[in-house]
Structure 1
Amino acid sequence: MRAARRHIAAMTPLAVAVMLLTGCTVSIVDPAAGNDRSPRAQDGDPAPQSDATPRPSAREQQGDDDAASSGLSAPNAAERERLTAAATITMTCPDGPLDQDGSIIRVEGACADLVIDIDAGAVIADDVDRLQLRGSGTVVFAGTIGTVTISGSANQIIWSGATPVLKDSGSANSLGRG
């Protein structure tokens, strides 16, 4: 009995280390589909209702309506607007890759191909047929995207259209609609 306990105690740290060091994760989030992973949804218990719930102001409701019409959640719509206002470069679809590390770039109009080699920057685009992201630590907002290919790490791509074809060979990237 004691030998079995020692064996389990010795293997537990190894098992935890293996679980922490294996694989990479990609999350595809569609807010319109709901959150089936929440504990409340799994338990089947309805959310408690309260009359004390604060009601949004008319301005907040307008912001929510704008976000819904853009296909983005209110926080993502606000972040896209903030980044657009802070853009250091505004251009039409470029002929070559974007490679200005640390910059915020607004790409206006439709693009057949958009190649992003930026580290620690942001790109706000409209509609893109083929998006290739080779940088790391970059945030990308786009309308509709046909195909996304990512080889960088720790990036975030948010789109407002239908879910594109995704090819992710990087690590720790977050991809999602809205």
Structure 2
Amino acid sequence: MIVDFGFASLLDKFEEHYGKRAGKFLVGLIGAAVVSVCFSLIWQFISPLIGWATTTANGTSAVWLIWRGVSAMAAIAVLIAGGASVAAAIDAKRLVREAEAVMGDAYIIFESATAALIEAKGLVDDVNRGAKVVDISPQRTGKLVSDAQATLQQMKDTREKLSATRGRGRKRTDS
């Protein structure tokens, strides 16, 4: 049994109107609110026990002071870890953009190299056809043709690998 509260349609409408980033921000904000409510409920159940354990007849105990110090250090550690993860995410996005740009440039270079090899193969074929007239040895011409064909095949294989690589991973959307 699936229960739908209509939250997905609300998010879709919000995302259509304000954009994808604002939609993600709204989901994050709602998630933070839910976590905050959960922590508040948990604290309501735990706080009497902590109050009982940390107070004495004379007032605040040493346990309470240690608890406050540990919680302050934990809060600082969480802030540092959160900042480091945000910095890593920003750096990862930058690296992905740079890699996509390099892959695009490499694809253009491979395309032009393939065209140049095809042209060179045509020239070698022309030379091969005219070998009898120009008096170039057929063995030499055959070796040039086979070398050009091998290079052309390597370029085709590399181009196919590059095309397959470009298709994997994140989809690029240019808007």
Do the two structures share a fold, i.e. TM-score over 0.5? no
| Structure with the larger RCO, 1 or 2 (CA within 8 Å, 6+ apart) | 1
Higher helix content, 1 or 2: 2
Q: Which is strand-richer, 1 or 2?
A: 1
Instruction: Give TM class, smaller chain.
Output: under 0.3
